[in-house]
Structure 1
Amino acid sequence: MAELVYPPVIGVARTMFRVQGLRFDIGGTENVPRKGGALLVSNHIGYLDFVFAGLTALPNKRLVRFMAKDSVFRHKVSGPLMRAMKHIPVDRSEGMHAYAHALDALRAGEIIGVFPEATISQSFTLKSFKSGAARLAEEAGVPLLPMALWGTQRLWTKGHPRHLGRNKFPITMRVGEPMRANDGEKPGALTRRLRMRVQELLEDAQRAYPGKPSGPDDRWWLPSHLGGTAPTPEEAAELDRADRDERAARR
């Protein structure tokens, strides 16, 4: 079936990137398979991560279908676009429906994108990974594609204002070699190995990143262990708990 919406959306996004003056450094695109299913697994530091992560597959003429929370699909603007691009809504109270949808898509030869941390990391470090990605890839018989991105948090992330004008921010991305489970390896062990690989790619992206804080007040986007003022992982975990409690109270 012809892709009537996804390519034009990519074209609009690329035009916006040029207007913003974004500078991309993308490594490892040769690791994206030219055909067949695969599960692209990325860290999550900003609201636009899925837009940028999808760029890594374009050199091999592949499109990535991302699993995203269902509220994005209920929005009057983003909802129709997300459905037309065949992204997959995730209702966290009924996750098996999204799992089955993704499984069918992988078996049909699609690349599915996931963020196994589930929510944005407010410390900009890796949180723990959910094991669903490893289970999904193993059941579908497809490889895991580890990747990391850096710099996207400067555009739009949780708890900070958006910077979507002409900012000339650099964006760095790295895609690792495909991973599969070893003989007898359980999903938990594969998940830990996957997280270690994403961590390595993240550190590589951070070392290569050319952007520097513009002054003492511009260190918010750097994690504390790199001299930034972002919350520590422990502080970020407390913020996440407060967010969950607030959502539960609203329900």
Structure 2
Amino acid sequence: MSTDRRRPSDRTYRVVVRLIAGLFRLLGLRVTVHGEEHLPATGPAVVASNHTGFLDFTFIGYAARERGRLVRFMSKLSTFESPFSGWLMRAMRHVPVDRWSGAMAYRQARRLLDEGEIVGVFPEATISRSWLVKGLKPGAAGLAISRSAPLVPAVVWGSHRVMTVDGHRSLRRGKAITILLGEPLRPAAGETIAGLTERLHIAMTTLLNQAIAGYPDMPRSADDRWWLPYDRGGTAPPPDVAAALDRAALARINQPD
């Protein structure tokens, strides 16, 4: 029996991709993808994206379909705990991540890379309330170095206007979504995880600046400036204030009942 025949079917994942593309059309989203050629057509890779909205993974997955690839995302454990979404996430071979014990997820992600898959990571770990790139966790760089896999920086801009933290959500049609993928970062001989993580942060920040500068939509009113960063004339909190809000939100989640 061939190796391909032994591998799990991706039929569920491909159906979900088609449904998501249909949802984008229903919402009238104007999705633009640039740099999809930086995703390898075959073989392993790690895709590291910024994180501003709840639907970011769907947009990165949408961009990857242009190359005929399916991304196996590392996602928080709670997504796998409901009967339906858990079944769906496992059928698509995504990776559950326990915030307090990530070793098992890390091993599973490395196995996927060994199988020639693309692993998707949000190295900021949580949504950035400033909409700018936060400090990055080392997992994405560690995976890339552990398997000498290309590390592809990516950003999504505009998804937070659809659904994100603090009750921001809107089904208003016609929003622009920009997805940029940058040139792969190749781990250099002897490069440390910290060094590659720093290069990744620079690459993601550069891409995000490009995405914001070229974004075709403007706020409709003064009250609609919430989705712009503080240094672009928006009312989003600056990074230090956003970090304090993150800590307060995490403390609320961890409070005993």
TM range (shorter): over 0.9
* Contact 1:45 1:121 (8 Å CA) reproduced: yes
Partners of 1:167 and 1:191 in 2: how far apart?
A: 37
Measured after TM superposition, the shift of residue 185 of structure 1 is 1.6
Partners of 2:234 and 2:255 in 1: how far apart?
A: 32
Measured after TM superposition, the shift of residue 140 of structure 1 is 1.5
* Contact 2:123 2:138 (8 Å CA) reproduced: yes
Gapped regions of structure 1 (runs ≥ 5)? none
Partners of 1:184 and 1:5 in 2: how far apart?
A: 40
* TM-score relative to the length of structure 1: 0.97
Partners of 1:14 and 1:223 in 2: how far apart?
A: 28
Determine which of 48, 71, 85 is the counterpart of 2:55. Answer: 48
Partners of 1:242 and 1:35 in 2: how far apart?
A: 42
Greater Cα offset, 241-250 or 217-226: 241-250
Gapped regions of structure 2 (runs ≥ 5)? 1-6
Identity of aligned residues (%): 46
Amino acid of the residue matched to residue 7 of structure 1? R
Partners of 1:75 and 1:231 in 2: how far apart?
A: 33
Partners of 1:7 and 1:131 in 2: how far apart?
A: 30
* Contact 1:19 1:166 (8 Å CA) reproduced: no
Measured after TM superposition, the shift of residue 135 of structure 1 is 1.1
Determine which of 211, 215, 234 is the counterpart of 1:228. Answer: 234
Q: CA deviation digits over 1:159-202, x for unaligned, max 9?
A: 02321x34210000110111112222211011001110011111
Amino acid of the residue matched to residue 138 of structure 2? S
* Contact 1:29 1:175 (8 Å CA) reproduced: yes
Measured after TM superposition, the shift of residue 133 of structure 1 is 1.0
Determine which of 143, 149, 153 is the counterpart of 1:136. Answer: 143
CA-based RMSD: 1.1
Residue 11 of structure 2 corresponds to residue 4 of structure 1: yes
Amino acid of the residue matched to residue 33 of structure 1? P
Amino acid of the residue matched to residue 234 of structure 2? G
Greater Cα offset, 103-112 or 69-78: 69-78
Partner residue in 1 for 2:80: 73
Determine which of 176, 179, 186 is the counterpart of 1:180. Answer: 186
Partner residue in 1 for 2:209: 203
Partners of 1:59 and 1:247 in 2: how far apart?
A: 38
Pairing of 1:157-172 with structure 2 (within 5 A): 157-163=164-170, 165-172=171-178
Residue 256 of structure 2 corresponds to residue 250 of structure 1: yes
Q: CA deviation digits over 1:133-173, x for unaligned, max 9?
A: 1111111121100011100000001102321x342100001
Amino acid of the residue matched to residue 179 of structure 1? L
Partner residue in 2 for 1:83: 90
Residue 121 of structure 2 corresponds to residue 114 of structure 1: yes
Partner residue in 2 for 1:60: 67
Determine which of 219, 222, 235 is the counterpart of 1:216. Answer: 222
Q: CA deviation digits over 1:80-135, x for unaligned, max 9?
A: 11111110000111100000000000111000000000000011011000111111
Corresponding residue SS for 1:68? strand
Determine which of 118, 124, 130 is the counterpart of 1:123. Answer: 130
- The alignment of Structure 1 onto Structure 2 pairs a total of residues equal to 250
Partners of 1:248 and 1:9 in 2: how far apart?
A: 32
Measured after TM superposition, the shift of residue 30 of structure 1 is 0.7
* TM-score relative to the length of structure 2: 0.95
Amino acid of the residue matched to residue 33 of structure 2? I
Partner residue in 1 for 2:154: 147
Q: Which runs of 4+ in 1 moved over 4 A?
A: none
